[in-house]
Chains A and B, each alone.
Chain A
Amino acid sequence: MTGQKPPHDPRGDNGQNQPPDTGAGMTALSYLIAGILVWGGIGWLVDYFVGTTGIFAGIGAVLGVAGGVYLIVRRLGA
Chain B
Amino acid sequence: MVIGQSTVLAAAFPPSVEDFYLPSILPWGEHNAYWFTKITVLVWVAVAAIIIFFLMSYRKPQLVPTKKQWLAESIYGFVRNNIAVDMIGPQGVRFAPYLTTLFMFILVNNFFGILPLVQISPMSHIAFPAVLAVVSYVMFIWVGIRKHGIGYFKMAVVPNAPLGILPLLVPIEIFSNFLVRPFSLAVRLFANMFAGHMLLLVFTLGGFAMINANVLLAPVSVLSWVLTIAITFLEFMVICLQAYVFTVLTASYVQGSLADEH
- Please, which residues of chain B bring their CB within 8 A of the CB of A14? 90
Indicate whether A46 reaches chain B with its CB closer than 8 angstroms.
no
Q: Of B161, B172, B180, B252, which is within 8 A of A23 by CB?
A: B252
How many A residues touch B, CB cutoff 8 Å?
32
Flag if B85 contacts A30 (CB, 8 Å): no
Flag if B171 contacts A38 (CB, 8 Å): yes
Could you tell me the dominant secondary structure of chain B's interface residues?
helix
A67 to B176 Cα, complex, angstroms: 12
Indicate whether B168 reaches chain A with its CB closer than 8 angstroms.
yes
Flag if A34 contacts B88 (CB, 8 Å): no
- Please, which residues of chain A bring their CB within 8 A of the CB of B255? 19
Flag if B169 contacts A67 (CB, 8 Å): yes
- Please, which residues of chain B bring their CB within 8 A of the CB of A70? 161, 165, 168-169
A59 to B213 Cα, complex, angstroms: 53
User: How far in angstroms is the closest Cβ of chain B from A48?
Assistant: 18
Indicate whether A4 reaches chain B with its CB closer than 8 angstroms.
no
Q: Of A13, A30, A67, which is within 8 A of B180 by CB?
A: A30
Indicate whether A26 reaches chain B with its CB closer than 8 angstroms.
yes
Contact with B along A37-72 (1 / 0, CB 8 A): 111001000000000000000000001101110110
Flag if A31 contacts B85 (CB, 8 Å): no
* Given A13-B81, A23-B248, A70-B165, A38:B90 Cβ within 8 A: no
**Which B residues are within 8 Å of any A CB, using their own CB?**
80-81, 85-90, 92-93, 159-161, 165, 168-169, 171-173, 175-176, 179-181, 184, 248-249, 251-252, 255
Closest 7 CB pairs of A and B: A23-B252, A34-B176, A34-B175, A67-B168, A12-B81, A13-B85, A38-B175
A-B contact list, 5 entries, CB within 8 Å: A13-B93, A17-B89, A27-B252, A34-B175, A74-B159
